[in-house]
Amino acid sequence: MDYTLVGTDMHSHLIPGIDDGSPDLETSVALIQGFKELGYSKLITTPHILWDLYKNTPERIEKGLDLLRKALEENQVAVEIEAAAEYFLDDHMQELLQKKERLLTIKDNLVLTEFSTMHQSMSMKNILFDVLMAGYQPILAHPERYIYLYKKWDLFHEIKDNGILFQLNLLSVTGGYGARVQEIAQYLLDHDFYTFVGTDLHHEGHMARLKTLEIPAKLQELLTNDRIQNRHL
């Protein structure tokens, strides 16, 4: 795959030691070197904010970004890197919205959000609406991985019609997360749901798979026609 068509990766876990992504600076630098070799020109890394497991704050994430940038400079890895966050849409997120706390954005008011991949939230539509009402534009991370929504196409359309943007995990199109995830991803691709693509890279195993990824024709078309907006981040 020609990743120069994507340009910017906007979903990864590269700040060391603060979530289930890179464990240390050495690993982070190696992974970022891999991104550069694939043709990426910019990275917006997105640590989890999931309060039961990863109590990350903007201050903690920004401190980690500073350390990572220094390590990249010391290792002469020249790539632009920023940080936002992947916000789990739970009670803590609702508390942040109620208190009007600062959220880390991908760009402007774009906020990367996620739900559990195992269990459907009964307040899914309500909390996405709350994010919108707080003045942010939610991007729903890897919607194809919510396998409890398998073949619930009407709900996907309703979410999209309510103004939510969708982000595809690139490895979803290869069957790397399973056949049902691949089928949902293909449906969403075919019906032009996705505005962004991301690697959701956590470790070297993901990087190795990215190096051999075969891009589906529909995704190639969306990238070529600038329907996928990563290059504008």
Amino acid, single-letter form, for residue 96: L
CA–CA dist 105, 135 (Å, integer): 12
CA–CA dist 133, 142 (Å, integer): 22
pLDDT at residue number 175: 87
CA–CA dist 113, 123 (Å, integer): 14
pLDDT at residue number 103: 98
CA–CA dist 231, 40 (Å, integer): 10
Q: Provide the percentage of residues in the chain whose pLDDT is more than 70.
A: 100
For residue 173, the SS3 value is helix
Residue pLDDT tens, the chain, 233 long: 779 989 999 999 999 999 999 999 999 999 999 999 999 999 999 999 999 999 999 999 999 999 999 999 999 999 999 999 999 999 999 999 999 999 999 999 999 999 999 999 989 999 999 999 999 999 999 999 999 999 999 999 999 999 999 999 999 998 889 999 999 999 999 999 999 999 999 999 999 999 999 888 899 999 999 999 999 99
pLDDT, tens digit, for every residue of 9-47? 999 999 999 999 999 999 999 999 999 999 999 999 999
CA–CA dist 104, 18 (Å, integer): 16
Ordered domains of the chain (ranges, CATH) = 3-232 (3.20.20.140)
* pTM metric for this prediction: 0.97
Amino acid, single-letter form, for residue 56: N
**How close are the terminal C-alpha atoms of the chain, in Å?**
20
